[in-house]
Protein backbone atom coordinates (compact mmCIF):
# COMPACT_ATOMS: atom_id res chain seq x y z
CA UNK A 1 0.00 0.00 0.00
CA UNK A 2 1.51 3.29 -1.05
CA UNK A 3 1.35 6.39 1.03
CA UNK A 4 -0.33 9.27 -0.77
CA UNK A 5 0.89 12.59 0.43
CA UNK A 6 -1.76 15.20 1.09
CA UNK A 7 -1.17 18.66 -0.34
CA UNK A 8 0.17 21.07 2.23
CA UNK A 9 -2.42 23.33 3.79
CA UNK A 10 -1.59 26.86 2.73
CA UNK A 11 -0.50 29.22 5.47
CA UNK A 12 -3.28 31.59 6.48
CA UNK A 13 -2.87 35.05 5.05
CA UNK A 14 -1.74 37.90 7.27
CA UNK A 15 -5.28 39.27 7.18
CA UNK A 16 -6.75 35.89 8.19
CA UNK A 17 -4.29 35.62 11.09
CA UNK A 18 -5.32 39.11 12.22
CA UNK A 19 -9.01 38.14 12.05
CA UNK A 20 -8.37 34.93 14.00
CA UNK A 21 -6.29 36.79 16.58
CA UNK A 22 -8.89 39.50 17.14
CA UNK A 23 -11.61 36.86 17.60
CA UNK A 24 -9.42 35.07 20.13
CA UNK A 25 -8.70 38.33 21.99
CA UNK A 26 -12.44 38.95 22.26
CA UNK A 27 -13.08 35.44 23.57
CA UNK A 28 -10.23 35.68 26.08
CA UNK A 29 -11.45 39.09 27.26
CA UNK A 30 -14.94 37.61 27.74
CA UNK A 31 -13.51 34.84 29.94
CA UNK A 32 -11.37 37.26 31.93
CA UNK A 33 -14.42 39.39 32.67
CA UNK A 34 -16.45 36.35 33.69
CA UNK A 35 -13.59 35.17 35.95
CA UNK A 36 -13.39 38.58 37.62
CA UNK A 37 -17.07 38.34 38.53
CA UNK A 38 -17.98 41.42 36.53
CA UNK A 39 -21.61 40.36 36.42
CA UNK A 40 -23.35 41.59 33.31
CA UNK A 41 -20.55 41.66 30.72
CA UNK A 42 -21.13 44.23 27.97
CA UNK A 43 -19.67 44.67 24.50
CA UNK A 44 -17.93 47.82 25.74
CA UNK A 45 -16.33 45.86 28.61
CA UNK A 46 -15.10 43.19 26.23
CA UNK A 47 -13.73 45.71 23.71
CA UNK A 48 -11.83 47.59 26.42
CA UNK A 49 -10.36 44.40 27.86
CA UNK A 50 -9.48 42.98 24.40
CA UNK A 51 -8.09 46.25 23.08
CA UNK A 52 -10.32 46.18 20.01
CA UNK A 53 -12.95 48.53 18.64
CA UNK A 54 -16.68 47.84 18.63
CA UNK A 55 -16.56 47.41 14.84
CA UNK A 56 -14.07 44.57 15.28
CA UNK A 57 -16.29 42.97 17.92
CA UNK A 58 -19.36 43.16 15.66
CA UNK A 59 -17.39 41.77 12.73
CA UNK A 60 -17.12 38.54 14.74
CA UNK A 61 -20.15 38.48 17.03
CA UNK A 62 -23.66 39.90 17.03
CA UNK A 63 -23.70 40.41 20.81
CA UNK A 64 -22.24 38.99 24.03
CA UNK A 65 -24.60 36.01 23.89
CA UNK A 66 -23.04 35.11 20.53
CA UNK A 67 -19.62 34.86 22.26
CA UNK A 68 -21.18 32.49 24.81
CA UNK A 69 -22.71 30.36 22.06
CA UNK A 70 -19.48 30.39 20.02
CA UNK A 71 -17.52 29.01 22.95
CA UNK A 72 -20.13 26.40 23.87
CA UNK A 73 -20.22 25.31 20.22
CA UNK A 74 -16.42 25.04 20.33
CA UNK A 75 -16.67 22.39 23.06
CA UNK A 76 -19.36 20.54 21.11
CA UNK A 77 -17.11 20.61 18.01
CA UNK A 78 -14.19 19.26 20.06
CA UNK A 79 -16.43 16.38 21.10
CA UNK A 80 -17.52 15.81 17.51
CA UNK A 81 -13.89 15.78 16.30
CA UNK A 82 -13.07 13.13 18.91
CA UNK A 83 -16.00 10.99 17.78
CA UNK A 84 -14.99 11.33 14.12
CA UNK A 85 -11.47 10.18 15.06
CA UNK A 86 -12.67 7.11 16.95
CA UNK A 87 -11.94 3.75 15.42
CA UNK A 88 -15.22 2.48 13.91
CA UNK A 89 -15.10 -0.46 16.32
CA UNK A 90 -15.20 1.99 19.26
CA UNK A 91 -18.22 4.00 18.11
CA UNK A 92 -20.72 2.55 20.54
CA UNK A 93 -23.38 4.65 22.27
CA UNK A 94 -21.49 4.10 25.51
CA UNK A 95 -18.19 5.40 24.13
CA UNK A 96 -19.84 8.36 22.43
CA UNK A 97 -21.55 9.28 25.71
CA UNK A 98 -18.23 8.95 27.54
CA UNK A 99 -16.51 11.21 25.01
CA UNK A 100 -19.25 13.84 25.40
CA UNK A 101 -18.75 13.96 29.17
CA UNK A 102 -14.96 13.99 28.73
CA UNK A 103 -15.04 16.88 26.23
CA UNK A 104 -16.88 19.08 28.73
CA UNK A 105 -14.84 17.81 31.71
CA UNK A 106 -11.58 18.53 29.83
CA UNK A 107 -12.77 22.12 29.42
CA UNK A 108 -14.19 22.30 32.94
CA UNK A 109 -12.70 25.63 33.94
CA UNK A 110 -14.31 27.46 31.05
CA UNK A 111 -17.49 25.39 31.07
CA UNK A 112 -18.06 26.36 34.73
CA UNK A 113 -17.93 30.02 33.72
CA UNK A 114 -20.29 29.54 30.78
CA UNK A 115 -22.80 27.12 32.29
CA UNK A 116 -24.80 29.58 34.43
CA UNK A 117 -25.31 31.77 31.35
CA UNK A 118 -26.44 29.05 28.95
CA UNK A 119 -30.14 28.81 28.31
CA UNK A 120 -31.29 25.21 28.93
CA UNK A 121 -33.47 25.40 25.81
CA UNK A 122 -30.55 26.53 23.63
CA UNK A 123 -28.25 23.89 25.12
CA UNK A 124 -30.81 21.12 24.59
CA UNK A 125 -31.38 22.15 20.98
CA UNK A 126 -27.65 22.17 20.23
CA UNK A 127 -27.11 18.90 22.11
CA UNK A 128 -29.87 17.25 20.10
CA UNK A 129 -28.42 18.68 16.87
CA UNK A 130 -24.99 17.16 17.53
CA UNK A 131 -26.45 13.91 18.80
CA UNK A 132 -28.55 13.58 15.64
CA UNK A 133 -25.51 14.25 13.46
CA UNK A 134 -23.60 11.49 15.22
CA UNK A 135 -26.51 9.05 15.03
CA UNK A 136 -26.98 9.67 11.31
CA UNK A 137 -23.29 9.34 10.45
CA UNK A 138 -22.12 6.59 12.75
CA UNK A 139 -24.88 4.72 14.48
CA UNK A 140 -27.04 3.53 11.56
CA UNK A 141 -29.94 5.74 12.62
CA UNK A 142 -33.03 3.52 12.24
CA UNK A 143 -35.53 5.13 14.55
CA UNK A 144 -39.10 4.31 13.55
CA UNK A 145 -39.92 7.98 14.00
CA UNK A 146 -38.16 11.08 15.21
CA UNK A 147 -40.11 11.11 18.49
CA UNK A 148 -38.18 8.16 19.86
CA UNK A 149 -34.85 9.79 19.06
CA UNK A 150 -35.95 13.20 20.42
CA UNK A 151 -37.14 11.57 23.63
CA UNK A 152 -33.81 9.82 24.18
CA UNK A 153 -31.65 12.76 23.09
CA UNK A 154 -33.72 15.29 25.05
CA UNK A 155 -33.47 13.15 28.17
CA UNK A 156 -29.74 12.84 27.74
CA UNK A 157 -29.45 16.61 27.23
CA UNK A 158 -31.36 17.15 30.49
CA UNK A 159 -29.06 14.74 32.35
CA UNK A 160 -26.03 16.43 30.83
CA UNK A 161 -27.23 19.94 31.77
CA UNK A 162 -27.96 18.77 35.31
CA UNK A 163 -24.43 17.33 35.53
CA UNK A 164 -23.01 20.67 34.40
CA UNK A 165 -25.13 22.58 36.94
CA UNK A 166 -23.91 20.29 39.72
CA UNK A 167 -20.34 21.21 38.85
CA UNK A 168 -19.45 18.01 36.97
CA UNK A 169 -18.87 16.24 40.29
CA UNK A 170 -19.31 12.72 38.95
CA UNK A 171 -16.65 11.22 36.72
CA UNK A 172 -17.57 10.69 33.05
CA UNK A 173 -17.58 6.91 33.58
CA UNK A 174 -20.07 7.31 36.45
CA UNK A 175 -22.33 9.37 34.20
CA UNK A 176 -22.17 6.74 31.46
CA UNK A 177 -23.22 4.15 34.07
CA UNK A 178 -26.11 6.45 35.07
CA UNK A 179 -27.24 6.67 31.45
CA UNK A 180 -26.95 2.91 31.00
CA UNK A 181 -29.10 2.42 34.11
CA UNK A 182 -31.74 4.81 32.84
CA UNK A 183 -31.82 3.22 29.38
CA UNK A 184 -32.43 -0.29 30.68
DSSP string covering 85-98: HS-GGG--HHHHHH
Tell me the pLDDT tens digit for each residue of 32-88.
999 998 778 999 999 999 999 999 999 999 999 999 999 888 888 888 888 888 887
- pLDDT 10s digits, 153-178: 888 889 989 999 899 999 999 999 98
Percent of the chain with pLDDT over 70: 89
> Looking at the predicted structure, is the pLDDT value of residue 113 above 50?
yes
Q: Residue 8 has what pLDDT?
A: 61
Lowest mean pLDDT among 10-24, 44-58, 62-76, 96-110: 10-24
What local confidence, expressed as pLDDT, does residue 9 receive?
Answer: 63
Residue 21: pLDDT band by 50, 70, 90 thresholds? confident
Rounded Cα gap, residues 54 and 157, in angstroms: 35
Task: For residue 142, name the pLDDT band (cuts at 50, 70, 90).
Answer: low
Q: Is the pLDDT of residue 3 over 50?
A: no
CA distance 154 to 126: 10
Q: What average pLDDT is seen over the chain?
A: 84
What own/partner pairs with CB < 8 Å and gap ≥ 24 does 103-108 have? 103/75, 103/76, 103/78, 103/79, 104/75, 104/79, 104/160, 104/164, 104/168, 105/168, 105/172, 106/78, 107/75, 107/78, 108/168
Please tell me whether the overall predicted TM-score, pTM, comes out greater than 0.85 for this model: no
pLDDT (0 to 100) of residue 132: 81
Amino acid sequence: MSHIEQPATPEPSRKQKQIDNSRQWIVEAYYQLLESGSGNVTVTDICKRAGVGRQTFYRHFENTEAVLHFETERVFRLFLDIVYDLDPEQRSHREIHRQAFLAFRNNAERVRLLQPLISPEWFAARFIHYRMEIEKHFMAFHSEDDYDFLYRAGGMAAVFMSWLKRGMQEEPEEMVEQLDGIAH
